[in-house]
């Protein structure tokens, strides 16, 4: 059987493995032994990690799993000192948090980081969140609804939260947070840390018992050959999701240079497209191009409220919150959780 080696077991890499493991000898490489449902990691503030994680060994029946940190250099995949042979390779290493203020601030992009901050959150009286995008807003809502006695402050560098969306989305989120006591400081850019305080570009100073940075993420490409990266450190790909100049190597998920939102559902679409193109290539058929599209966004606000946004269509309230929980249950049930 031909060998397919996948680096990264998130939504993209796992989708490829599940589709191909019955037709190829698949090896999945990841630094952790489990899949994590990242859209709901903020629920780990109060929830059971087992609800949002599932071991790869329980999901994949025929795939060989290798735990470690992989390097992709000169068309070779190396883990430790071992070179991993492949006929087809898939790079889907995901993202890392963008932390320009240093490592003394907590981030909220992975289950591990949330678990590290959980005890400090329970002890904190005041929480400061920097960044009013998707993660910052969901985090502020999660803390404000689960720990109403805590004073939450959200700082954002734009006049509106969630500014890439329709204005109705921003206004609903701001109203929701305001009604639950969240203090929003808008049009304020944080420039640096000074001890346990953050200093804004205009000189204002803010502090909290616990500070989260939700400024954004960056592609996790530090172990990928720089010759195939663009100026944003994304992997340069063709429309077929093949890496430029490498016909048998594909890339998808957050590291791929595709102009669309970095979401779990899009990463899964990349994985499906990659798997289908590997099959087509093996069968000698023409490969199909991936077409980016704007997908519905569901933003959760606490346990039972949310926002559903699709271009100019916006729905708010109970139903979007329910929809996000149902999607989570569907995915984890599909993976046997």
Q: Which of 300, 329, 37, 323 is nearest to 143 (CA)?
A: 300
In the prediction, which pLDDT does 337 show? 57
* Mean of per-residue pLDDT scores for the chain: 93
7-11 average pLDDT score: 97
In the prediction, which pLDDT does 319 show? 92
pLDDT single digits (tens) 66-116: 999 999 998 999 999 999 999 999 999 999 998 888 777 888 888 889 998
- If one compares 16 and 324, the residue with the highest pLDDT of the two is 16
- If one compares 219 and 46, the residue with the highest pLDDT of the two is 219
Query: Which pairing describes strands 313-317 and 126-130: parallel, antiparallel, or unpaired?
Result: unpaired
Q: How many CB atoms lie within 10 A of CB 193?
A: 16
pLDDT single digits (tens) 123-138: 999 999 999 999 999 9
In the prediction, which pLDDT does 312 show? 82
| CB proximity list for 37: less than 8 A, separation 6 or greater | 52, 53, 264, 328, 331, 332
pLDDT single digits (tens) 290-331: 999 888 889 999 988 999 998 789 999 999 989 888 888 888
Q: How many CB atoms lie within 10 A of CB 235?
A: 28
Contact 122, 146 (CB under 8 A): no
- What are the beta bridge partners of residue 229? 235
Threshold 0.85, pTM exceeds: yes
Would you say residue 221 has pLDDT above 80?
Answer: yes
In the prediction, which pLDDT does 80 show? 93
């Amino acid at each position: 059987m031909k060998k397919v080696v996948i680096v990264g077991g998130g939504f993209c890499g796992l989708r490829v493995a599940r589709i191909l493991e019955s037709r190829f000898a698949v090896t999945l490489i990841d630094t952790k032994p489990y899949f994590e449902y990242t859209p709901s990691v903020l629920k780990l503030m109060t929830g059971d990690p087992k609800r949002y994680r599932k071991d790869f060994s329980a999901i994949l029946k025929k795939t060989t799993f290798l735990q470690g940190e992989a390097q992709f250099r000169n068309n070779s995949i190396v883990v430790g000192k071992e070179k991993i042979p492949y006929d087809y390779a898939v790079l889907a290493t995901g993202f890392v948090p963008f932390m320009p203020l240093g490592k003394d601030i907590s981030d909220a992009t992975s289950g591990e980081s949330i678990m590290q901050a959980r005890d400090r959150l329970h002890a904190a009286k005041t929480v400061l969140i920097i960044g009013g995008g998707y993660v910052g807003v969901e985090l502020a809502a999660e803390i404000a609804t689960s720990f109403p006695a805590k004073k939450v402050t959200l700082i954002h560098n734009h006049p509106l939260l969630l500014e890439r969306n329709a204005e109705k989305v921003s206004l609903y989120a701001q109203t929701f947070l305001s009604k639950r006591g969240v203090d929003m400081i808008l049009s304020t850019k944080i420039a640096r840390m000074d001890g346990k305080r953050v200093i804004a570009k205009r000189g204002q100073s803010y502090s909290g018992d616990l500070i989260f940075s939700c400024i954004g993420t960056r592609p996790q490409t530090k172990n990928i050959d720089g010759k195939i990266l663009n100026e944003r450190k994304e992997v340069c790909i063709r429309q077929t999701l093949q890496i430029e100049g490498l016909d048998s190597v594909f890339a998808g998920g957050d590291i791929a240079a595709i102009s669309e939102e970095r979401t779990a559902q899009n990463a899964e679409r990349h994985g499906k497209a990659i798997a289908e193109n590997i099959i087509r290539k093996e069968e000698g058929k023409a490969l199909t191009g991936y077409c980016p599209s704007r997908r519905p966004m569901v933003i959760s606000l606490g346990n039972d409220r949310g926002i559903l946004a699709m271009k100019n269509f916006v729905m708010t309230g109970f139903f979007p919150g329910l929809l996000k929980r149902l999607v989570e249950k569907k995915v984890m049930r599909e993976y046997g959780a």
